[in-house]
Amino acid sequence: MSTAPKALFFDVFGTLVDWRQGIARESEAILSAYGHSLDWYAFADDWRAQYQPTLEQVRSGKRAYEKLDALHRENVQPVLARFGVDANDAMLDALTNAWRRLPAWPDAPAALTRLRERFLMAPVSNGNISMMAMLARFNGFHWDAVLGAELADDYKPNAEVYLTACAAFDLAPQQCVMVAAHTNDLKAAAALGLRTAHVARPNERGPGKGEAAPGVVVDWAAADLTKLADQLCG
């Protein structure tokens, strides 16, 4: 079996879209209508900080898989309380759906279009299928299929998420490239035999707070997706 890469699997939050800017802006739009004026970036950061601990409960088997939408909705509630916001259902729904309206990093849409000429393309994200579908609509991404956590009923970096994605495309791990701005994602994928591409997002979590370079050896490393497309499409 040829090990030339045939499919690209994309991490989404942080790699393709700017969740911090998006959540700060969307939260402001939603909560300012209720008369709140918060440090919107601090609010986004606090909400995102709940992410890995909650996912770890699923990864470790302590709780059953639920869609990331449900976990986001659950996680935002103590954050709202800390910021002094009285929550209601409509507000929680709107905030949960904010994750479907995150702006792409400026280089992402055109680069994905170029890469699609050469490779099968799928998000392999912890986001659920509907969230990925709506984010794709919002940003004009064209996926061949939505793979990832919901197909595996588990969360990255657990192995099942990557392996289910390879299997869905009938490919060996060696024929698949995990593309991410996060070392832990690429490390897990590489351990299973997938090839790996790191995209630098040095400001993902705020100015200077993001990975400017991978922390492990990868097959490709690029300053942005345009440069990754230059490398992969020749």
Binding residues for its own copies, per CB under 8 A?
69, 120, 128-130, 132-133, 136-137, 142-147, 150-151, 168-170
Q: Please state the closest distance from residue 131 (CB atom) to its own copies, in A.
A: 9
Instruction: State both tokens at 202.
Output: 């040095």
State which residue, 58 or 199, has the beta carbon closest to its own copies: 58
Q: Which residues of 52-69 are buried (b: 16+ CB within 10 A; e: fewer)?
A: eebbeebbeeeeebbbbb
Q: Please state the closest distance from residue 129 (CB atom) to its own copies, in A.
A: 4
Distance CA 35, CA 213 (A): 41
State which residue, 142 or 209, has the beta carbon closest to its own copies: 142
Q: Please state the closest distance from residue 140 (CB atom) to its own copies, in A.
A: 11
State which residue, 1 or 208, has the beta carbon closest to its own copies: 1
Total residue count of the chain as it appears in this document: 234
Interhelix angle 68-82/129-139, rounded to 10 degrees, is: 80
Q: Please state the closest distance from residue 170 (CB atom) to its own copies, in A.
A: 5
Closest CA to 106 of 23, 17, 179: 17
Helix (H, G, I), strand (E, B) or coil at 128: coil
State which residue, 86 or 170, has the beta carbon closest to its own copies: 170
State which residue, 107 or 150, has the beta carbon closest to its own copies: 150
Q: Please state the closest distance from residue 143 (CB atom) to its own copies, in A.
A: 8
Percent helix / strand / coil, the chain, rounded to 5: 50, 10, 40
